[in-house]
Amino acid sequence: MTTIVLVRKNDQVVVAGDGQVSMGNTVVKSTASKVRKIEKRDVVAGFAGSTADALTLFERLEGKLEKHAGNLSRAAVELAKDWRTDKYLRRLEALMAVGDKHNSYIISGTGDVLEPEGDVIGIGSGGNYALAAGKVLMEGEMSAEEIAKKAIKVAADICVFTNSNVKVEKI
């Protein structure tokens, strides 16, 4: 369980995630990094789900971006197709929030590539809390990074599977 929020505001794209790793009802780590920047392609991504699954998906996404010359839309669709149809990948349980300068998507193992309405994405156990907070905060003067951090902190106050050790990546 985790909380990831992706915010797009004023030509800045930020993905933030909490640091809590839980096994059942036990916190086993509080400082994990669940967000990543793919430097070569100016893409940021965050995951909610199993750590091993997420690492596999990050690697696959990076490979798809390389194959499709940095086209995030095409890479996301190809990753979702592989995820849904590959015998090994379809067992992975995770969600990804990914964004570049032009697009933001939620990618799921059921083959979904969803482009959100608005400029905020929230996924994971506290995703809806972070999404709601992010949408309200978008109306003010805060930067994308400030909104993302505050949205995670709001989710951490509500969701027991989310903590306030926030990690951020931005483009």
Q: Which residues are catalytic?
A: 2
Q: Checking DSSP bridges between strand 12-17 and strand 167-170, what pairing results, if any?
A: antiparallel
Q: Which two tokens stand for residue 94?
A: 């995770």
Residue 116 phi/psi, 5° resolution? -70, 155
User: How many Cα atoms sit within 13 Å of 59 on the Cβ side?
Assistant: 7
Angle, to 10 degrees, between the axis of helix 144-158 and the axis of helix 127-137? 140
